[in-house]
Every structure is written in C-alpha cells, then in structure tokens.
C-alpha cells in the first residue's frame, strides 16, 4: 500500500547497496532472498529489501544502451560526434547512466535530453525541422503569456480525449481489470470539469476534490481493448505580479511539514536552503531565491520512473539535473524547509496541438494566497535567454494545463491492491487485475485535445 512507502527512507545493507550500484542484480536477488529468509533480519527492513528487487527489475529497461550502441544512434543525429564527447557528456551529467552487470549503460532517451538541453549540440543536429519546431514552441508560449499579462488572466475551455489500449499475452480474456483514467480536479485555476462520455460505463467518477482524481472502471479483459474518456474542463489562469513590499507580516504555517520518503529535511537540504536564502526573512524573496537557484543552477534531464529514484529532492539537488517533477518537488521541499507553504500540482500540459505529462508547484504568500511556480519552464526560459518568460513562471502559469493531482504521493480512489506504476503521481492512468500488477509494457496510453476555446471576458 502507498502508506508503506516510508520504508524507502531505510538504508540498505552495505553489501546489497554495492551490488545494486554495480548493477549485479542477479547476485543481489540471491543475497536479498537469503536475507528475507533469515529470522535475524528486522521485519521493518523486509519491504525495503523487496522494493530493491523492483528497482533491479526496472533499471535495465530504462538504461538499455551500451556506449557503442549509444554512439551509433547519436551519429544518426549528430554525424560528427566523437566517442570522447560521449565521455565528457557522461562526466558533466548530461548523459544519464547506470552500471548493468558492471558495464556502463545509458538512459533510453538521453539523446533527446542532450538535444533539449545543450544548444551547441542541438545546432549540430541534422534534423533542421526539429530545431525549427523548438523555436516555434517558445514563440507560441511568449505570445500567450503576453495576452495573459495584458488581460490580467486567460479563460479557456478544453475538451480532451484520453485512452488506454490493453494488449497482453499474460492477461486472460474475461479476467477483471481495475483501470483508473485521469480526471481533472476542480478548484484553484480549474473552474469546472465533467466527464462527457466514455467507451465503457464507469464504476466510479471521483469527487471533484479528490487529490489524485480518476474515472474508475472494472471491466473484463478483451484482447486489444481500448478504454477511453472524453473530458471537458475550464481553466481561468490569473496573472499576478507580487511585490515583496506588499507581503503581510503574518504568514500561515500549513503545508510546511515533511512528506517522507521524499520531501524530507535532511542535513544537506538544510545546509543548502541556508546557503540559498541566507539571512533573508521576506517569504516572497525567499521563494524567489529558491526559484532562481533551481532555474539558473540546475538543468533539465529526462528521468526514469520515479519509483527507482530514492530521495528525489536530494537526487536533484546534489546532481542538479532532473525533469519537471523533480524540479517541482525540490522547490516544494526547500520552500517548506524555510517555512513557506508549498503544494504539488501535476497533470497534463495541454497546448492545443500537443499534450504531455507535466508537474509544477504552488506556494502560499499572504496577502496574495496561492501562487504558481514552474521551475522546469523557468529553466527552459533561462537557457533560451528569455528573462520575461522566466519571471512569468514565478507566480504564474499559462492556461495550457489540466491539473489532475493537488498533492504528491496519494492513494487513488478506490486504492490499488498492488504497487502502482507511479506511486507518487497520476497522469497516464493505472491498471491492475484482481491478482497482480499489470506491467507498463502490457498497455499504452494517449491523450489529445479535441477542442480548445479562449473565452473573451
């Protein structure tokens, strides 16, 4: 169950940790099996040891490429790249890697990450269309931000189609599937959300204030089946330009506690927070100092599934690389540590012609109330040289969001019986049978915008 994930804070025995770091997963599995059978091993350590087996199962899937295989693929994008450059990019943290059986293996999408975050390498890419598309995305963002600032807010209505296709030889026709498809929360910037239609009759549509909201189905498996939903929702995104001199002397203390196993005030994070905010006491200025550190000193990097990453904020704030969710939970943790209320929000980035997973944060400053923060988009703006866009994403979001989660690390309703594909977030949907978890390779998910309309008010 989700509530048991606090065991991820427990340390591994040193020999098992060394086997894990070397990617010697076959030997590690044998050692763990022996420890689990040893009555001297504390029961409180058992779940942590078993979870390490799940990490071992998934890690080779996320890190499939040897140096030779990566070089071959990179040459198709950047013909003049050299093996020495790969070594340098590995050492500076751009190319994410792990040992598998003692051999360096690279992350499946590390090439996409390289081209996304290193402008000098992107300029050498042979695919000119990809470079033009990136510039166009930035232009469209700048345009909608300008409209939002001019009007003071942007009000938009969306209709979204989402679907899950299930096809697996390991599933038996007729056996019961328990399926959660994401559904927008209501509150904050979301004014309304409704299920318009679905491919099958839902068993349950969660209340609008569920922290990780779903349309839930219990269905008999049919090979190649597609479960889908059409959802309408309405966003009114404000524009706020908060001023430090207007911040209230009295500030609330809610949402400033730790959230183990990840948002934990470790000695390193305490030292880093002190280094970032110094003697500053104004909460808006403190939040801005944290935002500035993350957006200017840290870099975007695609991530494997979060469930194979232990202590997400420390992972990010020591290596200074990670994706949007890692940026967000690090910002939230540092804000909470220095006494600023902060919350998670996540869901889909719903640009009318492009839908994808995205995470961001909220922080509370009286008298303004909840403000928004997207460190990932802010960091992208910094790398592109757009200070105006970077400033916008401290306190604001454009309306191209479908918030599904108002909190990190929450149970679904009804709760899953087995470990979720993503125990912390809920963006693509979740599926299981009555007897086991369903592996991510047994289904595919997709979503797209059917209708988008900006309301002139």
Instruction: Give mean pLDDT, residues 300-313.
Output: 91
Asked, as a colleague might, if the bond just before 261 is cis with ω within 30 of 0, I would say yes
Is the model's pLDDT at 223 over the cut of 50? yes
Q: Which pLDDT does position 1 carry in this prediction?
A: 42
User: Do 294 and 394 form a contact (C-beta atoms < 8 A)?
Assistant: no
Instruction: Give mean pLDDT, residues 255-270.
Output: 95
- Give the model's confidence band at 133: pLDDT under 50 very low, under 70 low, under 90 confident, else very high: low
Per-residue tokens: 13: 């025995």
Instruction: Give mean pLDDT, residues 345-352.
Output: 97
Query: Which run of H or of E encompasses 453?
Result: strand 443-455
- Give the model's confidence band at 457: pLDDT under 50 very low, under 70 low, under 90 confident, else very high: confident
Q: Which pLDDT does position 128 carry in this prediction?
A: 61
- Give the model's confidence band at 335: pLDDT under 50 very low, under 70 low, under 90 confident, else very high: very high
Is the model's pLDDT at 3 over the cut of 60? no
- Give the model's confidence band at 264: pLDDT under 50 very low, under 70 low, under 90 confident, else very high: very high
CA distances from 364 to 189, 328, 394 (A): 14, 15, 12
Q: Which pLDDT does position 312 carry in this prediction?
A: 94
CB atoms within 10 A of CB 201: 7
Instruction: Give mean pLDDT, residues 102-122.
Output: 93
Instruction: Give mean pLDDT, residues 205-221.
Output: 97
Q: Which pLDDT does position 131 carry in this prediction?
A: 59
Q: Is domain 153-237+405-455 annotated with CATH 2.60.40?
A: yes
Q: Which pLDDT does position 6 carry in this prediction?
A: 85
- Give the model's confidence band at 4: pLDDT under 50 very low, under 70 low, under 90 confident, else very high: low
- Give the model's confidence band at 129: pLDDT under 50 very low, under 70 low, under 90 confident, else very high: low
Is the model's pLDDT at 132 over the cut of 80? no
- Give the model's confidence band at 130: pLDDT under 50 very low, under 70 low, under 90 confident, else very high: low
Question: In what side-by-side order are the strands of the sheet with 204-205?
Answer: 204-205, 214-220, 176-182, 430-433
Q: Where are the domains of the chain?
A: 2-62, 67-122, 153-237+405-455, 240-395
pLDDT in tens, 53-65: 999 999 999 999 9
pLDDT in tens, 136-176: 677 899 999 999 999 999 999 999 999 999 999 999 999 99
Q: What is the mean pLDDT of the chain?
A: 95
Distance CA 359, CA 391 (A): 18
pTM (two decimals): 0.93
Q: Which CATH architecture has domain 240-395?
A: Roll (3.10)
Q: Which pLDDT does position 2 carry in this prediction?
A: 43
Q: Which pLDDT does position 293 carry in this prediction?
A: 98
- Give the model's confidence band at 5: pLDDT under 50 very low, under 70 low, under 90 confident, else very high: confident
Q: Which pLDDT does position 127 carry in this prediction?
A: 77
Is the model's pLDDT at 338 over the cut of 60? yes
Instruction: Give mean pLDDT, residues 284-306.
Output: 95
Q: Which pLDDT does position 300 carry in this prediction?
A: 93
317-324: long-range contacts, CB 8 A cutoff, minimum separation 24 = 317/268, 317/269, 317/272, 318/268, 319/93, 320/93, 321/93, 321/94, 321/96, 322/298, 323/359, 323/376, 324/300, 324/358, 324/359, 324/360, 324/374, 324/375, 324/376
């Amino acid at each position: 169950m989700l509530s048991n994930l606090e065991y991820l804070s427990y340390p591994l025995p040193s020999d098992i940790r060394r086997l894990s770091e070397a990617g010697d997963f076959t030997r590690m599995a044998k050692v763990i099996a022996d420890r689990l059978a040893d009555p001297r091993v504390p029961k409180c350590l058992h779940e942590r040891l078993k979870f390490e087996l799940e990490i071992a199962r998934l890690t080779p899937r996320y890190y499939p490429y040897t140096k030779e295989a990566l070089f071959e693929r990179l040459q198709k994008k950047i013909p003049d790249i050299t093996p020495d450059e790969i070594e340098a990019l590995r050492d500076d943290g751009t190319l994410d890697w792990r040992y598998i059986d003692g051999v360096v293996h690279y992350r499946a999408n590390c090439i996409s990450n390289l081209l996304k975050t290193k402008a000098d390498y992107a300029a050498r890419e042979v695919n000119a269309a990809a470079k033009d598309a990136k510039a166009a995305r930035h232009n469209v963002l700048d345009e909608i931000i300008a409209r939002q600032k001019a009007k003071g807010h942007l009000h938009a209505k969306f209709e979204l189609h989402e679907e899950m296709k299930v096809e697996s030889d390991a599933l038996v026709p007729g056996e019961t599937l328990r399926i959660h498809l994401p559904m927008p929360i209501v509150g904050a910037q979301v004014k309304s959300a409704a299920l318009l239609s679905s491919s099958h009759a839902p068993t349950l549509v969660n209340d609008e204030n569920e922290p990780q909201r779903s349309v839930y189905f219990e269905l008999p498996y049919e090979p190649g089946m597609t479960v889908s939903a059409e959802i309408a929702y309405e966003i009114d995104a404000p524009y706020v330009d908060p001023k430090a001199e207007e911040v209230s002397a009295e500030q609330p203390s809610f949402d400033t506690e730790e959230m183990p196993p990840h948002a934990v005030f470790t000695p390193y994070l305490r030292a880093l927070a002190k280094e970032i905010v110094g003697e500053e006491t104004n909460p808006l200025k403190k939040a801005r100092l944290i935002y500035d550190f993350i957006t200017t000193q840290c870099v975007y990097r695609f991530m494997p599934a979060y469930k194979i990453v232990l202590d997400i904020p420390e992972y990010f704030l020591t290596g200074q690389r990670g994706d949007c969710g890692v940026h967000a939970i690090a910002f939230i943790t540092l804000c909470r540590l220095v006494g600023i209320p902060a919350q998670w929000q996540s869901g889909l980035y719903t640009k009318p012609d492009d839908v994808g997973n995205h995470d961001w944060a909220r922080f509370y400053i009286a008298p303004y109330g909840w403000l928004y923060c997207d460190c990932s988009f802010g960091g992208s703006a910094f790398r592109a040289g757009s200070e105006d866009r970077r400033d916008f994403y401290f306190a604001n979001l454009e309306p191209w969001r479908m918030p599904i989660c108002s909190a990190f690390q929450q149970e679904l309703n009804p709760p899953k019986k087995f470990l979720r594909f993503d125990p912390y977030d809920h963006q693509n949907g979740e599926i299981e049978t009555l007897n086991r978890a369903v592996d991510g390779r047994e289904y595919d998910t997709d979503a797209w915008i059917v209708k988008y309309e900006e309301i002139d008010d």
